[in-house]
Copies of this chain bind each other. A is one copy, B any other.
Amino acid sequence: MRVVRTIADLRALLRPLRDEGKRIGFVPTMGFLHEGHGALIRQSAARCDATVVSIFVNPTQFGPGEDLTSYPRDLERDQNLCLEADTTVLFLPEVAEIYPTGFQTHVEPGRLAEPLCGRFRPGHFRGVATVVAKLFNIVQPDLAFFGQKDFQQTVVIRRMARDLNLPVDVVVVPTIREADGLALSSRNTYLDEDARRRALGLSQGLLAAKAAFDAGERQVTKLMDLARGPLSGVDSIQYLELVDVQALEPLQGLVDRAAVLCVAAFVGGTRLIDNVVLAPSPVDAGLNTSLSPQSV
């Protein structure tokens, strides 16, 4: 595994691989890696000839009062995880390498960035879309891997890549969970024992709704009630919404197309998100369907 810190070094390293026709996979991360990231990297390693992992805590996707300065970091552990998951190149740029003096251009996503997290984190997806567009242009991967846990992010990025004709396939990898159901997240490290226990309400509710859906329940209100029940232990629910997977628009009445049940809640001062896809079949969920470069 090679570790590089500059765009020039990364490009110099990747150019010969690309010239040889190697398929390049890319996993952009903010570090403090867990097995969710591990799954992304391993899937990239399995499907590509070379895998680039970036660790960059992107300041522009944090809002005022969010946890930019306290965001957890453990580079040594991250490097070990990357190595074990078969990473080819680890890219560790400084902030000034990504946003040099004079930087002023942004990628502005559209209405897909407005609902759900977009309502509570103004500017977040603009920051995400901008840094991912930049990283896509720096790495020029064939495939890029994102976790389903940040569902709206995957939808915004896939739309951004398609709209800007970035010749990269966006692959969404299912969320990895602890044995008790808690979705893996770098921010779980903020949770003390009590908050960790109460945080379980997110996945418990979602998984109960999914079980009911899989057993045939299609009523939006009933599925929402099932998801809301176990959330009684959280400090506050930011949103709980059942939206269609394409447009992220709330479903009314019955779940008549592929949908995703999304939650954001605060537990012990920590903001957590989670989601489950409710779809008659995985194909309907639109997961792991990638845009071929020809079609974008």
Interface, chain A (partner B; CB < 8 A) = 7-8, 11-12, 19, 21, 102-112, 129-130, 133-134, 137-138, 140, 159-160, 163-167, 293-296
Contact = CB atoms under 8 A, between A and B. Distances in A.
B137 A102 contact: no
Given A110-B105, A111-B104, A294 B11 contact: yes
A197 B139 CA distance: 52
Contacts of A167: 11, 137, 140
A246 to B, nearest CB: 9
A248 to B, nearest CB: 12
Chain B CB within 10 Å, residue with most, of A108, A109, A165: A165
9 contacts: A7-B294, A7-B296, A11-B293, A104-B163, A105-B107, A105-B163, A106-B107, A106-B110, A133-B164
Given A105-B108, A130-B164, 12 more contacts: A11-B293, A12-B294, A102-B159, A104-B111, A104-B112, A104-B163, A105-B164, A106-B107, A108-B108, A133-B164, A137-B165, A137-B167
Task: Count the copies.
Answer: 2
B294 A107 contact: no
A155 B188 CA distance: 44
Contacts of A294: 7-8, 11-12
A98 to B, nearest CB: 9
Contact of A105 (B140, B160, B295): B160
A107 B130 CA distance: 9
A107 B134 CA distance: 12
A249 to B, nearest CB: 13
Contacts of A164: 105, 107, 130, 133-134, 137
Nearest to A130: B164
Contact of A109 (B105, B129, B159): B105
A150 to B, nearest CB: 18
- Which of A21, A103, A105, A106 has the most chain B CB atoms inside 10 A of its CB? A105
A109 B104 CA distance: 6
Nearest to A103: B163
A229 B1 CA distance: 66
Nearest to A126: B108
Contacts of A7: 165, 294, 296
B159 A105 contact: yes
Contact of A104 (B104, B159, B165): B159
A110 B99 CA distance: 13
B163 A138 contact: no
Contact of A107 (B8, B12, B108, B293): B108
